[in-house]
Amino acid sequence: MKLHEAALRIADQMDAAAQQVSVALAEIEPARLDEWQVECFDLAWAISDLRAARSALNTANDLDRDLALLFMRQHGRRAMDRLADASLSLGLGTVHIEDVRAGEDWRELSKWAAGTRAQKLGEAVISAAGEVGAPNLSGEAELARDSFARFARATVAPLAEDIHRQDLTIPEDILRPMRELGAFGLAIPQQYGGIAEDDGEDASTMIAVTEALSEASLAAAGSLITRPEILSRALLAGGTEAQKEHWLPKIAAGNPLCAIAITEPDYGSDVASLGLRANKVQGGWRLTGSKTWCTFAGKAELLMVVARTDLDRTLGHRGLSLMLVEKPSDDGHQFRHESRDGSISGKAIATIGYRGMHSFDLAFDNWFVPDDCVIGQEAGIGRGFYLTMAGMMGGRMQTAARACGVMRAALKASIEYCGQRKVFGAPLSDYPLTLSKIANMAAKLSACRALAYEVAANVDDPNRPMAASMAKLTACRAAEEITREALQLHGGMGYAEETAVSRYFVDARVLSIFEGAEETLALKIIARGAIAQAGNGTPR
């Protein structure tokens, strides 16, 4: 217990150093902050790692608490280096950081983590079969998770490899039971046909279900409910009552399936600069322009499209609106549809992983959208950016859960393989380096799960959008690191497509890119949020 208190004191000291960096950056004119991107990036990573460490240190399970100490030792050192670099660059000196490095608390934590500690933790993780970071769920959330986990093992997992290797579209064998289980209505209140509570939101069920599905396959199941999650939140935030009553029950039933069209060829995460044109005509709008990386756009029958309804580009985000675009469903990698003197066409982008849903390039040519398909109708004109951000918060929480699911799969596969594979006369799992690797993988997973579930449950946190970005940032990078280590532990077999860890590895790589690239989250949301709070004198 004393060591955990010491770790929390270390976090407090490092938070003070981060606050010092934030205050210094707050004194810079906002228009010049891009000149300090490296320092902002380091700040965002440091405070995100510290937030994950705090979440992990608050867990009750003994193994998880020890893994939290290991995570604090690993990522605390990285956070210190980042904050020291930023402080020196800003001319602040590194007194706070050097006090931590020289302090008794850090020495005790380092002494605890030295020697055979990681090996012993690796043995404990193997004994627990990789079940670390277990969340404290309500009975309803636990029941939902277990139901989807059974479905994922029985139905998704046997199909996942073929979907990946043959680049197939997700079949009805997966979609039909997903509809029956209510997967597409997890974020939709019961009054609109979903399964979320009407009187308040706890996203823990959504996180638990997403994690269970992603453990079987990120692309064939885990990502299916992200799109209705984003669209539903946008509708709930800004749709008219008639739009909510019309669309939300349909979305909850999985009919229509949804896709999100935000990114454009010249603009990735820079949503405010999007330029797909929406020209006003009698009874509606006509869309002309391109979108890219629109996942599931072929199969989907309803697209949430961010369009520029005011063609004055100097308005930036204030000229954007959200539209609901209906189209026929297509199973192939290419489609084209014509209607009312306009057309919409799409072509799937070949990718190294994340196959099954397919990401499409889209071309709109004079495609008609009726007035009642603008989210919020007249009141929604110009609010597209804000409604998109409302939807994306849920998407980022869910992406953290997707990353945790992939991490769980990679850790469990590593434990199983290392117990069976013999080298130099002994199982891989008998060797100290293997055990240390397993422990470090488990420490990352446990901390990321703790933060993801904490953010999901804390609905009253005014800084929740920023915290959701932190959860995504840390979990997605950790998924890359853990799947890389899992592939390495499998040796040559890890590089073979017949082994599932090769799929985990290429799937995990996309996580830091979509739903907000890690650079954008770090610079524009996490760092800017910390800087704004420092300027206002408010704590994180």
Backbone angles phi, psi at 221, to 5 degrees: -155, -50
Q: Is residue 499 part of a domain?
A: no
pLDDT value for 392: 82
Q: List, by residue number, the catalytic residues.
A: 515
Tens of pLDDT, residue by residue over 509-534, are 999 998 888 999 999 999 999 999 98
DSSP string, 156-170: IHHHHHHHHHTTPPP
Tens of pLDDT, residue by residue over 390-409, are 888 778 889 999 999 999 99
Confidence of residue 200 (pLDDT cuts 50, 70, 90): low
Give residue 37's domain range.
1-114+517-540
The number of beta carbons lying within 10 Å of the beta carbon of residue 313 is 11
Tens of pLDDT, residue by residue over 270-285, are 666 677 899 999 999 9
Q: Is residue 416 part of a domain?
A: no
Q: Is residue 424 part of a domain?
A: no
- Average pLDDT score, the chain: 92
330-346 b/e with 16+ CB inside 10 Å = b?
beeeebeeeeeebebbb
Q: Is the pLDDT of residue 540 over 70?
A: no
Q: Is residue 436 part of a domain?
A: no
Mean pLDDT over 311-328 rounds to 87
| Strand extents, DSSP E, 371-519 | 422-423, 426-427
Tens of pLDDT, residue by residue over 339-367, are 888 999 999 999 999 999 999 999 999 99
Q: Is residue 122 part of a domain?
A: no
Q: Is residue 81 part of a domain?
A: yes
Q: Are 276 and 264 in contact (CB under 8 A)?
A: yes
Tens of pLDDT, residue by residue over 462-487, are 888 899 999 999 999 999 999 999 99
Identify the CATH number of the domain in which residue 84 sits.
1.20.140
- Specify the higher pLDDT residue, 195 or 436: 436
Mean pLDDT over 444-461 rounds to 91
- When divided into structural domains, the chain yields a total of 1
What span, in angstroms and rounded, lies between the C-alpha atoms of 53 and 50? 5
Q: Is residue 8 part of a domain?
A: yes
pLDDT value for 182: 93
Tens of pLDDT, residue by residue over 132-149, are 999 999 898 899 999 999
- The answer for residues whose C-beta is within 8 angstroms of residue 508's C-beta and 6 or more apart is 218, 353, 403, 406, 410, 476, 479, 480, 482, 483
Q: Is the pLDDT of residue 114 over 60?
A: yes
Tens of pLDDT, residue by residue over 33-62, are 999 999 999 999 999 999 999 999 998 789
**The whole model's pTM is what?**
0.92
What span, in angstroms and rounded, lies between the C-alpha atoms of 215 and 209? 10
pLDDT value for 453: 94
Q: Are 14 and 76 in contact (CB under 8 A)?
A: yes
Residue 369's identity, in one-letter code, is V
Q: Outline where 303-420 has alpha helix (H).
A: 384-420
List residues bridging with 308 in a β-sheet.
277, 320
Which helix (H) or strand (E) segment holds residue 337: the answer is strand 334-339
Instruction: Tell me which residue of 110, 91, 102 sits closest to 21, measured CA to CA.
Output: 91
Q: Is residue 6 part of a domain?
A: yes
